[in-house]
Structure 1
Amino acid sequence: MAQEYPADEARPRRRGRKLLVGLIVLLVLVAVLLVIADRVAVGVAERAIADRVSQEVTKQGAQSAEPDVEVGGTPFLTQVLDGRYQRISIKLRDVQASVEGDALRLPVLDVDARNVRASLDTLRTGQGDVVADTVDGTGTISYDSLAALLDRPGLTLGEQGGKLAVTAPVDILGQKLTVSGTADVTVAESGAVALRFNDLDAAGLPNLPLARTLLNNYAKGISVDVPLPDLPFQLAVREVRPLPEGLAVTADAKNVPINSAG
């Protein structure tokens, strides 16, 4: 036979269960509201940073599409109170800048700022600096814009076996030939991209010293230091690597503002 409890004892238990369920529901609602508030705050911060980045790009005489900004790390609001953010990622598309009268284009420039310091007052007023301990940037220079800077009719660039490859029509001793070969690509002390075409040849090249000299002179003519535009956030180029989609540029900086004082 089932044991029966007095009615006055069962009612407090039911009330206790209802109170517990109500408390759990309340906590869930509070958690949801905090998450929503956190995400809203992130969106506001990302839009504000995007506006400041656009201003900085314009100040440096460059152009780009509207930046995409992502503030990493959760929860965001605790980072606001602490004044330190784990990561801010910025993607700039179709970056263009004038280099000696020619336009050098980077289809995408990815910037990753770590350990970013920004006071609550800076975020509230828009005044002051947002400073990152480290900033890393990666971008790709299109081969078409690089070839335009070399200014040789018909010259095309690409990647071959991890090296920068060149193909171009040449006229040597009255013969129209196609020159091809590869180049060494390094970063010069000035920060420019140094191109050194040391291994060029042309099918059908006459077996004459003068023909070889003319080909070597052509190689020297396209072996130049290509100046890069000033990158945002004081980024300094450290490495360049030929990839199928273009010349990959890696840059970094330390302890720099990712926006200027307002």
Structure 2
Amino acid sequence: MRALRIGLVILVVLAGLFVAADRIAVNLAEDEVAKKLKGELGSASSGDPEVSIEGFPFLTQVAGKELDKVTAQVKGVTAKAGGREVRLSEVSMEATDVALSDNYSSAVADHATGTVHLSYKDLSNAADEGVRVSYGGKSNSGKDQVKVSASVTIPLVGKTIERSVYSTVSVAGGKTVRLHADEVPGSKIPGIEKAIREKIDFDRTIDKLPEGLKLDKVDADKDGVDLSMEGTGVHLAG
């Protein structure tokens, strides 16, 4: 009986050591992934990436070259959008069934989802000079609105007017953010709607999205705009 108790104690101790070694290994791996992500972003990121590798045991996942789930979050990412530099306030992503290959230098997720958060300041910087994007409150139907304001010079008369309109934010082609005014005040005046839309309606295509990940939905609120993204066969590295 004493021998059995000693055997059980040894098993418990060994299990504890394995768990400790496993957690140390996963922490080291998370740090390495974060460093690599930071290196790829370079000066495009103002913050250190936060990476979490889930699933237990981690060492068994590494041996099988497939990770159950990897999550990452980066704040203050600078991307190119329509030839302009645009700050993405926060980018977060969750990838599942991540296959590792090429001596662990390549990682492809079977499925991944994520969110890109754009503040209204971010959106204003992405717009043309003199265009301001802000929260427009709730519509009569209770939907959150985006307000776009700009000074526009009217053709023919050469008069400059200030106009604010409510716009819809949508995504197109998987990587493009689109702002389009729902209605333009004074549109019956010849040339005014065209002049205003040329100023406030715009598309911006965002780079730095991993291959296989596409923008698919937009939600706006008082804090900014959240772009949801999803994809399969998403290339995370390599």
Following superposition, the deviation at residue 209 of structure 1 comes to 5.3
Identity among equivalent pairs (%):
28
Choose from 83, 103, 113 the match for 1:136: 113
What aligned pairs does 1:1-262 form with structure 2 within 5 A after superposition?
Answer: 16=1, 18-58=2-42, 62-100=44-82, 102-118=84-100, 122-123=103-104, 128-153=105-130, 155-161=132-138, 162-168=144-150, 179-189=163-173, 191-201=175-185, 210=189, 214=192, 217-260=195-238
Give CA-to-partner distance per residue, 1:69-111, whole Å, 9 cap, x none. 1001112122122221110111111111233553211111011
Give the whole-Å Cα distance in 2 for the aligned partners of 1:75 and 1:194: 44
DSSP 3-state at the match of 1:74 = coil
Give the whole-Å Cα distance in 2 for the aligned partners of 1:170 and 1:258: 43
Q: Which has the higher helix share?
A: 1
The number of residue pairs the alignment matches comes to 231
Residues 53 and 70 in structure 2, CA contact (< 8 A), matched pair in contact too = yes
Residues 52 and 259 in structure 1, CA contact (< 8 A), matched pair in contact too = no
Residue ranges of structure 2 left out of the alignment (5+ in a row): 139-143
TM-score by length of 1: 0.75
Following superposition, the deviation at residue 245 of structure 1 comes to 1.7
Bigger Cα displacement from structure 2, 105-114 vs 49-58: 49-58
Give the whole-Å Cα distance in 1 for the aligned partners of 2:173 and 2:80: 21
Give the whole-Å Cα distance in 2 for the aligned partners of 1:137 and 1:223: 26
TM-score by length of 2: 0.81
Query: Which amino acid in structure 2 is aligned with residue 53 of structure 1?
Result: L
RMSD: 3.0
Give the whole-Å Cα distance in 1 for the aligned partners of 2:173 and 2:33: 32
Following superposition, the deviation at residue 221 of structure 1 comes to 2.1
Query: Which amino acid in structure 2 is aligned with residue 182 of structure 1?
Result: Y
